[in-house]
C-alpha cells in the first residue's frame, strides 16, 4: 500500500511543481520574452513548444497526447501488476508526474510551456516536467542496470557439473 501512496504523492508533487511554475511564468512574462538571471548563462525564457523534446516532431499534439497516455497507463500497470519496491514506485511516480504535467499543457493549450534556459550549456529550453521525466528515466535505467549487473555477478548454483 505504501508503494502506491508513494507513487501517487510523488506524481502529484511533480505535477503541482510543474503546473505552478508554468502558471507563474505564463502569467508574468509575455510569450517569447526572457529574463537574464545570470547573463549569458541562465535565463527564464517563456516559450511554448508544439513538439517533443529538443523541438522534434512539431505540431503532432494528438500523437503526443495518445503516446503520453499510453506511457502513463504502462506505469500504472507496472505499479499494480509488478508490485515494485517503494523506491521504484517513487521513481515511476516521478516519470508519471512529469508526463502528466506536460500532458496537461498539451490538452489545455496544444503546446508545452518551457522556461528553463541554460544558455551555452544546454541548447534547449525545458520545464519542471521535463526534469522529472528525464531524471526519473535515468534513475529507472540505473536501477535496472544495477540489478542486471548484480544478477549476472551471482555465482553458479552448487551441484552443477564442473569440468
- Report the side by side order of strands in the sheet with 42-49: 34-38, 42-49, 112-118
Residues with catalytic roles: 114, 130
Q: 110 burial class (0-12, 13-18, 19+ CB within 10 angstroms)?
A: middle
Amino acid at each position: 500500500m505504501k508503494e502506491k501512496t508513494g507513487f501517487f504523492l510523488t506524481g502529484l508533487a511533480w505535477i503541482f511543481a510543474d503546473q505552478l511554475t508554468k502558471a507563474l511564468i505564463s502569467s508574468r512574462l509575455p510569450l517569447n520574452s526572457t529574463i537574464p538571471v545570470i547573463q549569458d548563462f541562465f535565463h527564464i525564457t517563456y516559450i511554448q513548444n508544439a513538439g517533443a523534446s529538443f523541438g522534434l516532431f512539431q505540431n503532432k499534439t494528438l500523437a503526443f497526447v495518445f503516446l503520453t497516455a499510453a506511457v502513463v497507463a504502462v506505469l500504472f500497470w507496472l505499479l499494480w501488476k509488478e508490485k515494485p519496491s517503494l523506491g521504484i514506485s517513487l521513481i515511476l511516480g516521478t516519470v508519471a508526474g512529469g508526463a502528466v504535467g506536460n500532458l496537461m499543457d498539451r490538452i489545455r493549450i496544444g503546446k508545452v510551456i518551457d522556461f528553463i534556459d541554460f544558455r551555452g550549456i544546454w541548447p534547449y529550453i525545458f520545464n519542471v516536467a521535463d526534469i522529472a521525466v528525464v531524471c526519473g528515466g535515468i534513475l529507472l535505467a540505473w536501477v535496472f542496470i544495477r540489478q542486471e549487473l548484480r544478477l549476472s555477478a551471482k555465482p553458479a548454483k552448487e551441484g552443477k557439473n564442473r569440468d
